[in-house]
Amino acid sequence: MAKRTTTFEYAPAPESRAIVDIKPSYGLFVNGEFVDGHGKAFKTVNPATEEVLAEIAEADDHDVDLAVKAARRAYDRVWSKMPGSERAKYLYRIARIIAERSRELAVLESIDNGKPIKESRDVDVPIVSAHFFYYAGWADKLKYAGYGEQPLGVAAQIIPWNFPLLMLAWKIAPALACGNTVVLKPAETTPLTALLFAEICQQADLPPGVVNIVTGAGGTGQAMVAHPDVDKVAFTGSTDVGKAIARTIAGTDKRVTLELGGKAANIVFDDAPIDQAVEGIVNGIFFNQGHVCCAGSRLLVQESVAEDVLHRLKRRMATLRLGDPLDKNTDVGAINSAEQLARIRELSAVGEAEGAERWSAPCELPSHGYWFAPTIFTDVTQAHRIAREEVFGPVLSVLTFRTPAEAVAKANNTPYGLSAGIWTDKGSRILKMANQLRAGVVWANTFNKFDPASPFGGYKESGYGREGGRHGLEAYLR
């Protein structure tokens, strides 16, 4: 645990990793069993220690083809023919097993991703289980959703590394509930919980081929997107890759949903309860090390309270505990990869070079692993790159405004449109602002709240389609 300077020290409270059984190497999960890949292998690393955790198969075109074929067979012969009420039983079973094995999943997620155990344990894994419960409930009620009752077929699903298991749940639960079968690829830096989920599919006796997990990097993803027998592509990741996918499938009859990046404004008015707003700012940008597509990475604070908010924000940031992700007291864990750390460092250096003032919470960074102290930039203008580009790390840009109209103009001045936050005492102002903000999700007097029943998705370069809720069924039905 890194030393901090401003509060007393807690005794270490590490969660035991004895509950997880990480194998030296993993194959691909195709047609209900683990098989060797035909391609190369790569390593997955614990970002908090740089320890190599396991060797992972890198699926090549042939492996992807086998996985798609298995998914097609399962779709034609079993899953699309099964009554919704029967499919629901499998989803309920998976949801229950996830709940039963939640500690194991949380520990493994924190080891492979670097996120604090209190987040994987209290946020990620409970919502994963809830997501399967929620869509299990829809499986026999699709005719009431209003999007048709027929599944699409085989879905190729590609997810990022920031919420590995949660993004898997957002993809697999609605697809299966609607009668589709899937080939899913986790991100190359965080494959382990998806592979444990494959074991859970076996434990649930899910018919072979309904869920296939292929591991690999961008090349594997490209092969999935381009495969002629894929009916639907569901992607969460960067806007650049999202655009490449849209180009690849243009002119085909594949359906697509894209959940991409964001640069959300978190807007604090002078009548907001300031201490609560400060908690919301901290949660908005430092939750999950800021590796959050809907992170409140641009703080817009009304000029009259800016000094007070910043003072209290710095005081609060000085109490954040950065260090061992498996320690139950840790607030800020490790950056997921050396590449991501390099990007955060680069954009932060640009912020300084462009004239913004940098302040980091006082904390000592561990000597091994990938770490970045919670950081804020003040004197930021809308032209600065740190105000326009997604840093995807624990870095907040602070801008000020005088009037609600100015706040709306600044908040909307981005190519993205995923989320926003409003902090004010006035309900009428919340509603008026929310109507004017071009963001898929607007939180009021809170931030980063997720629920399976609530749809999530973006405008503009944040992508198209919705995940979660009744709306999330539309992407998997015709």
Query: What is the binding site for ligand NAD (CB under 6 A)?
Result: 158-162, 185, 187-188, 217-218, 221-222, 225, 236-238, 241, 244-245, 259-262, 293, 390, 392, 418, 458, 463
Minimum distance from residue 284 beta carbon to ligand NAD (Å) = 14
For ligand NAD, the nearest residue by Cβ is: 221
Q: Is 259 a catalytic residue?
A: yes
Order of strands, edge to edge, in the sheet holding 211-213?
33-35, 28-30, 211-213, 181-185, 154-158, 232-236, 255-259, 463-464
**Whole-angstrom Cα distance, residue 61 to residue 438?**
39
User: Of 249 and 444, which CB lies nearer to ligand NAD in the complex structure?
Assistant: 249
**Whole-angstrom Cα distance, residue 50 to residue 206?**
35
Contact 216, 242 (CB under 8 A): no
Minimum distance from residue 326 beta carbon to ligand NAD (Å) = 23
User: Of 297 and 302, which CB lies nearer to ligand NAD in the complex structure?
Assistant: 297
Q: Which of 201, 293, 294, 363 is catalytic?
A: 293
Q: Which of 109, 119, 259, 390 is catalytic?
A: 259
Minimum distance from residue 440 beta carbon to ligand NAD (Å) = 9
User: Of 79 and 163, which CB lies nearer to ligand NAD in the complex structure?
Assistant: 163
Minimum distance from residue 294 beta carbon to ligand NAD (Å) = 7
Across-strand partners of 257?
A: 234
- The b/e string for 336-353 (b: 16+ C-beta within 10 A; e otherwise) is bbeebbebbeebbeebee
Q: Is 201 a catalytic residue?
A: no
**Whole-angstrom Cα distance, residue 79 to residue 87?**
8
Minimum distance from residue 458 beta carbon to ligand NAD (Å) = 6
Please classify residue 401 by burial: count the beta carbons closer than 10 Å to its beta carbon, then call 0-12 exposed, 13-18 middle and 19+ buried: buried
**Whole-angstrom Cα distance, residue 347 to residue 138?**
43
User: Of 351 and 458, which CB lies nearer to ligand NAD in the complex structure?
Assistant: 458
User: Of 284 and 323, which CB lies nearer to ligand NAD in the complex structure?
Assistant: 284
Give catalytic residue positions. 259, 293
